[in-house]
Amino acid sequence: MHDIKIFRATPDILRASLAKRHYPRTEIVIGQLVDLDHQWKVATAQLQALQTKRNEISKNMGFLKQAAAKGGGISNSWPESLLAALAKMSMPSLIERFEADGREIRRDSDLISQELDRLDVQLSELLASLPNILDQSVKDGESEENNECIRMNGTLRNFSFTPKQHFELGEALGLMDFAGAAKLAGSRFTILRGALARLERALGQFMLDVHTTEHGYQETAVPLLVNEAAMFGTGQLPKFADDLFKTTDERWLIPTAEVSLTNLVAGEILAFDKLPLRFAALTPCFRSEAGSAGRDVRGMLRQHQFQKVEMVSVTHPDHSAEEHERMTRCAEVILEKLELPYRKMLLCAGDTGFSAAKTYDLEVWLPGQGMYREISSCSNTRAFQARRMNARYREADGKTIGFVHTLNGSGVAVGRALIAVLENYQNEDGSITVPDVLRPYMGGLAVISAG
């Protein structure tokens, strides 16, 4: 969320960022902000003027009532404005007029306060609807086609046969069932059986173990159902309501553990020496995939329910850029240990997510599809989420308080890692070689075969 004070001081920064994102109606939105803020300033000045007048009346009434209680008498020490008024009317008449003025001021103040409340809501809603300000290093561009490849890693396997897609492999093994899942829940669900179910579990446990034992993240078990405030805090609401699942008791199923993990610090003031905080969780994630009709309809690439290991960091503002590089590297290590070819992409302005100031995507090679597909997304949101959650820290001086910076990253998407393992480790007979690092989690199993 944006700070109106920062907008007042530097409106062109928000304007330029929105334009760079190719945000629709940029100038109209900026104009609305300027207009609402002007109305707010005018109303605030009017309320302050009424309060000043009310204080003056209260002070003068005190003089008059004190004098009346003592039997009258005007003091030359009274304010000149009061003495001038008494020269034109009697003390009882002036008291009566002051009382009438006081009642009118209270009525006007109540009306202006109501108007300020309305303007506050409109400003907050408009600011909350606008995406984060982009980092200067983010390049211009409208879509994923304009993303920048930072580096490639790994060697693409040279198959002696035509590689199959994951769903062809899984179904041929008899361990991946889409029809059965559709019978239970509809499209975009999958049933895994036997060794593939264990392979999915192995991947999640492996990732979590690496991040907690090697990368310093604290394993955290979190709720899968959260309230509206938590969804708002990380930016899922109100913009992405259609992509979420909501229960009948006003709770929401998490689309990513980022929501639960990041909101652990909501409303908190963290000590300087406690930063950074690093959390990791392996959870199911739930997404309606609204707007993705016709995309990736076959297989496991785009599911309503999937497993993911999520990393979240809470840092001092001075260190969030460094933490972003570190977090992305942690996700890269997972792919390297699995010996999966991937590339690191810096997302362009038009492809950078709503809450993010800067995002790296890791895209894994899928030989069955003959293309790279996203498997991890690591974002620095800076203070954008922290303002929405009111998550702050206290500087080492013990006095200064500021907003923390929050970062999140897939470490990585378990379902897509399963897809990548199936396609990259497939054999001509349809069996799957189990990557070395996963064999301890698979009871020593080296090859997954049919039957």
As beta bridge partners, residue 371 has 366
Q: Among residues 128, 152, 181, which one ends one of the domains?
A: 128
- Across 389-409, average pLDDT: 96
CA 225 to chain centre: 16
Q: Which of 96, 128, 160 is the last residue of a domain?
A: 128
Q: Judge whether 125 and 106 are in contact, CB under 8 Å.
A: no
Q: Are 372 and 353 in contact (CB under 8 A)?
A: no
**Contacting residues for 208 by C-beta, under 8 A, at least 6 apart:** 219, 280, 282, 309
Per the listing, tokens 């690093």 go with: 278
Taking the C-alpha atoms of residue 203 and residue 199, their distance in angstroms, rounded to an integer, is 6
Tokens for 131, please give them: 């995406």
Among 441, 9, 3, which Cα is nearest to 201's? 441
pLDDT digits (tens, 9 = 90+) for 67-121: 765 666 777 777 777 777 776 776 777 777 787 888 999 999 999 999 999 999 9
CATH number at residue 36: 1.10.287.40
| 313 inside domain | yes
The confidence score (pLDDT) of residue 152 equals 98
Residues 160 and 60 in one domain: no
Give me the percent of the chain exceeding a pLDDT of 70: 95
Q: Per the domain annotation, does 134 fall within a domain?
A: no
Looking at the domain assignment, is residue 39 inside a domain? yes
Q: Which residue has the tokens 């669900």?
A: 189
pLDDT tens column, 153-204: 999 999 999 999 999 999 999 999 999 999 999 999 999 999 999 999 999 9
Q: Are residues 123 and 183 in the same domain?
A: no
Indicate the residue among 70, 93, 128 that finishes a domain: 128
Q: How far apart are CA 446 and CA 434, in angstroms?
A: 5
Q: Which H or E element spans position 378?
A: strand 371-382
Residue 58 has pLDDT above 90, yes or no: no
- The helix (H) or strand (E) run that includes residue 360 is strand 358-366
Question: Residue 60: what are its φ and ψ, rounded to 5°?
Answer: -65, -40
Mean pLDDT of the region 420-439: 98
Cα separation, 133 vs 252, in Å, equals: 27
Note the pLDDT of residue 94: 72
Question: Considering its fold, how many domains does the chain have in total?
Answer: 2
Output the pLDDT for position 88.
77
**Angle 326-327-330 (CA atoms, 0-180°, nearest 5)?**
90
In a domain, 304, yes or no: yes
Give domain status of residue 10, yes or no: yes
71 burial (CB, 10 Å; 0-12 / 13-18 / 19+) is: exposed
Residues 277 and 377 in one domain: yes
Return the structure tokens found at 133.
Answer: 């300000």
Q: Tell me how far the alpha carbon of residue 416 is from its chain's centroid.
A: 22
In this prediction, residue 169 carries a pLDDT of 98
Q: Which residues of 180-205 are buried (b: 16+ CB within 10 A; e: fewer)?
A: ebeeeeeebbbbbeebbebbbbbbbb
Mean pLDDT is lowest, of 66-80, 358-372, 373-387, 390-404, for: 66-80
**Among 208, 170, 161, which residue's Cα sits nearest to residue 192?**
170
pTM, full prediction: 0.90
Phi, psi (degrees; rounded to nearest 5) at 359: -140, 135
Q: Which residue range(s) make up the domain with 260?
A: 144-448
Closest CA to 257 of 282, 233, 235: 282
DSSP-derived letter for residue 177 is: E
The domain that holds 314 is classified in CATH as 3.30.930.10
Is pLDDT of 48 > 70?
Answer: yes
Helices 11-20, 26-69: inter-axial angle, 10-degree rounding: 150
Q: What share of the chain is helix, strand, coil (3-state, %, to 5)?
A: 45, 20, 35
**Closest CA relative to residue 366, chosen from 305, 431, 296, 316:** 296
Q: Is residue 137 part of a domain?
A: no
* 100 and 238 housed in the same domain: no
